[in-house]
Structure 1
Amino acid sequence: MNVRRSAAVLAATVVIGTATPAVAASPSPSPSLPSGLYGSGDPTYDGVWRQSFALIALHRVHVEPAAAAVDWLAGQQCESGAFPAFRADPARACDAKLMVDTNSTAAAAQALSAVGGHGTAVTKAVNWLKSVQNKDGGWGFAPGGASDANSTSVVIGALATQDVPVSKIRAGAESPYDALLKLSLPCADGGAFAYQPDKKGKLRANADATAAAVVAARGTGPLTAKAGTTRESTCADAPELTPEKAAANGASFLAGAVAKDGYLKSVLPGAENQPDYGNTADAVVAVAVQDGPGAARKPLAWLERNSAKWARQNGPAAYAQLILAAEAAGADPSDFGGTDLVKRLTATGPAPSTTSRDDDSGTDSGTSVWWMVGTGLAAGAGIGFLLSSRNKKKQP
C-alpha cells in the first residue's frame, strides 16, 4: 500500500515491491479534474487507487464521504466489473485499449463495500478478479501477468469483504495462499516475502511485499483487518509452511528492519539511508495485525514525528496510509503528531456528508479503532507511550 503509481515505477516494482504502484502528486493542479476526485495530481496512474483508499480510510474513522466522491469511483467501473487506473470519460464504454488491472479493481471493491449501496458493483468486481486468477493461485498486476505478492495480497483483501473463501477460488487454480507461500523466504534469508522471483528464479526479501503479504496471510485486507493479540513473532522454519507461520516470519522480518531507526529504508538507486514513509506505514499495519499494536510503537512514533511533509507532498493516498497505520497501532488519526490526518484528507476532495467519529451506531463492528475491537489492547503502557507523543498543539 504505497503511494507510487506510474508506468515507470510499476516496471520497477520487481525491485521495490510496492503494493500500490502510484505516482507522487503532480507539481501543478490540473484544472480538468473531476470535482468528486480526491487530490489535485494527475490521476492517470493512481486515480482509482487513491480514491479507493481515501474512502476506506474515511470509513474506518466514521466519516461519510460526499456522494460525488463515491459516484466518481463507481463510475470508473467497466461493464466487465474491472476497474482501470483512471477512466477519463466514464460515459464512453471501456474497450480493449483501456488497461484494467487487479490492483485498482480490488481496491475499488473494498472501498465500495465500505460505503455501502453498491453491492452489485462489488460483486461484479470480485467475480472479475476470480475470473483472472492465475493457475498458481495468485494474481499479477495485469490480467494474465505473473503472480506477485502485492497484487495477490490486495485481491485477498477484496475477497475478504465478500466473505469469499480464500482457500479455493475456482476450479483448476491453486489457493491464493499457495501463491503467497511460494514467495516466502526461509529464515536463513530473513523470513520475508519476495515480490516475485527475479530473472534467475531467486527470491529476494522485499519489505513492502512482506507488509502486504503478512496482512493477506492473515486472511484480511485494509478494510477488514483487526489488530492481533499481543505476541512477539519469531522466525522459525517449519516442515509444512502455513499462512499463519509465514505471516509470523514476515512480521519478525519487518520488526527487525525497523528496530534500529524506526523506519524502512528506500531501496531506490541513490537513496542510501533515505526513509520510505509509505512502506513504513504499511509495516506498522502488518506488525500490528500480527503482533498487536504495542509491537508497532517505534515505527508509529517515527511516523508521527516525521511524516507530515511527505503526506502533504503526496496527497490523499498518503493521508489514507497514515490513517490506517494510526488506527492499526491504536493512535488517534485526528491528532497524529499534532496533525489532524482526517481533516487533511477530506480537504483534498469534496466536503464529507457527515462526520461521526465518536459514534459507533450504524457502522460495521470495529470501525472506530478498527484493528483493535475485541483485542482489549488499548490499555496500559502502550497507550501511555502513544499519548505521550501527542501533547503538542494540534495543527488543522
Structure 2
Amino acid sequence: MRPIAISLAIAFLVAVRAAAEFAQPVPDTLEALGERLFFDVNLSVNRTQSCATCHDPEYGFADPRGMASIGDDGESIGDRNAPSAAYAALTPVFHKTAEGLWAGGQFWDGRAPLLEDQAGGPPLNPMEMGMADAAAVVARLNEDVTYQQAFEALFDGGVLADPATGYAAMTQAIAAFERTEVFAPFDSKYDRFLRGEVDLTREEDLGRVLFFSQQFTNCNLCHQLGQSAINPKETFTSYEFHNIGVPENTALRALNGVELCVIDEGLATNPDVEGDPNQRGKFKTPTLRNVAVTAPYMHNGVFEDLRTVVLFYNQFNTPNPKRQINPETGVPFRAPAVSATLATEELTHGPALDDQRVDAIVAFLKTLTDARYEPLLED
C-alpha cells in the first residue's frame, strides 16, 4: 500500500473512532450534561485534563497523585493541594458569620462564592487546564455535536453562540452534577451507625466520643457543623477559616520553584477580604468526610498520614518534646508559616492525648469514609 493510501486509511480509522466516542445519547438533564463535562479532557488546552483528573471519583474526588496537581502542560505544579470535591456542594456561599468570622466559599481561600464560580476556575487557570479564555472553551464545546444539541435543549436557544453565556451555562451544568448524590451519598459506616445498621468497634466508638467531646479534644471546635452529635447530615466542618500553624511544604516548593520566603497568605488573598492582615495564613476548614482516603493533608499537602495530622494538633497541648516530633520526618514539627494569626485558643483547648486516644480518633475518622471507598482503607 502506498504511503498516501496508508495515511488516508489511518485518518479514516481515527475519524471513525472519534465518531464512535461521541456517538452517545444526548444528555437530557442538566446533571447528565454536567457529568459529561466533568470528565471531558477536551476542555483543556492540550486535551489531556478534565475536572476528574484532579478530582478523581475513584479517590474521594481528590487528587491521589501528589501534594499538588500537575497542570495540563505536564509541567506546572501548583502550591496548594486539590481539595476533595465530595460534599463541596453543601458549602455555603462565602459570608461573614454572626460572630464576625469569614466562612464558606469554594477553594482553600473561599474566593469562589458559589459552586458555579469554582467550576469556572480551572479551565482558565494557566497552571491547570490552561485554556486562553471563555471563548476558547466554548469553541471546544461547539466542536461536539452532542454538546450543541444538549445545550440547545437545556438552555435558551443559541447559548453557545456567545462565549459569556455559553461558559456560564457550562459551569451551571457542572455544578448541577456536583450537587447530585454521587458526590454526597452519606453512606459511610458512621452514617450506617447513626441509622442503627452497624455497630462501631470499641476503638471507633471511643474516637467518636472524644471527637464530639467538649472537654477532651478540640476536634469539633472547627469540624462540627451542627449542634447535635448525631446529625445525619453532618459535614464535619464549620466552613470557617483558621490559621492552625501549618508549616511550609518545603518538598513541594522544591518541585514547583516557589521560594520558601514567599508566604501563602490564604484568606487574605480573597478579593472580598481586601488584604486584611488579620486573615493572613487562614484557610477554610475542610470536610472530614473521606479524609482517610484523600491524603496528603493540609492546604499544601505537607502531611502524608492521617495519624500525623492528629499528632500535629496534639503538639499544641503538650510540653513533652517527644510528643512534638513529626513521625514522617523524625524531627519536631516546623514552625507555622504565619505565626501572628495563629488560632492559639482553639489549638490549645483540651488536654494532651495519649497514643490510645490518638489511635481512637484516627479509627473514628476512618468511619467517615463513603461506602464506595471503604476498600481503599485496606491500602
TM range (shorter): under 0.3
> Which structure's CA Rg is the greater one?
2
TM-score, structure 1 as length reference? 0.26
